Structure 1
Amino acid sequence: MTTPQDAIRARRRLTNKMIAAHDAARLRPFFAPDVKLIVGDGGLILGVEAVIQAFAGQFADADFITYVREADTVKLDAAGARAAEHGRWTARWKTGDMGGTYLAAWRKVTGQWVIESELYVTLTD
């Protein structure tokens, strides 16, 4: 049986693959409709539509290559309905890389883990 931590790590790997493929539309099921995302420079993106549009905008940039998020830890709450993922992220462009640390809050909705919020902190550029 797959643990919740393994399921979340697998979903994160899938999002990394879709980002590398520049497939914004396929990212939608990984986010809660009311997702909140704080990007590396402190900007706030609210709602799944805005998140998907932000990805599509990045994918339209000819210099953009990918974002990679690598989980260091995934911790589950006592009820098994929420989890916190903490790790490192890297953004790659033809002109250079940047990265930092991130924290993602996941919740289980109708049997599937979705991202309810993410915080990215840029530590390199």
Structure 2
Amino acid sequence: MAEDAAAGLAIRLARASFNRALAEGDLAAIGPLLSAEVVMVTGSDSAVITGRKAQLMAWKREFAARERMIYTRTPQTITASPVEPVAMELGAWQGVADGAVQASGTYSAKWREVGGTWLIEAEIYVTLA
């Protein structure tokens, strides 16, 4: 299935905003990209973080870490559903600290369009290196 151009562009722009917010430690910019009931399954220990508030608290702890990791997600494909206002993003992620990649892997993210805005509903990360 081909990438829907409008959905793909909107999601890629939202992902770029999320990456920028992670790099800058900007919680206020992350919140609007997440649905209220967002679910994230982390890459190494498969911890489940449920809800926008819980995820923002996790990022706040991450941003306060002495040796902070900067995470970047790079979309490879985005497939929009032709029957529902949802899309699947597949890509690669990496965590960098002190200029060196400390961890990396693959991820999937489910997005939902709500009122013309694409929000992350669920993400699953797998640590491969």
Q: TM-score higher than 0.5 here?
A: yes
2:85 paired residue among 78, 81, 97: 81
| Structure 1, gaps ≥5 residues long | none
Give 1:104's match in structure 2, choosing from 96, 109, 122: 109
**Aligned match of 1:8:** 11
TM-score using structure 1 length: 0.93
Aligned to 1:35: 38
Q: Hey, what's the Cα distance between the residues in 2 that align with 1:69 and 1:28?
A: 17
The CA deviation at 1:109 is 0.6
Structure 2: gaps of 5 or more residues:
none
Deviation, 1:92, is 1.3
Q: How many residues align?
A: 123
Q: Secondary structure at the match of 2:128?
A: strand
Indicate yes or no: 2:60 matched with 1:56.
yes
What residue number does 1:24 align with?
27
Q: TM-score, normalised by structure 2?
A: 0.90
Mapped to 1, the partners of 2:101 and 2:18 lie a distance apart of 21
2: CA distance, partners of 1:92 / 1:3: 31
Deviations 1:26-63 (A, max 9, x none): 20010000001000121100000000011111000121
Runs of 4+ in 1 over 4 A off after TM superposition: none
Stretch moving more, 48-57 or 76-85: 76-85
Partners of 1:6 and 1:45 lie apart in 2 by 27
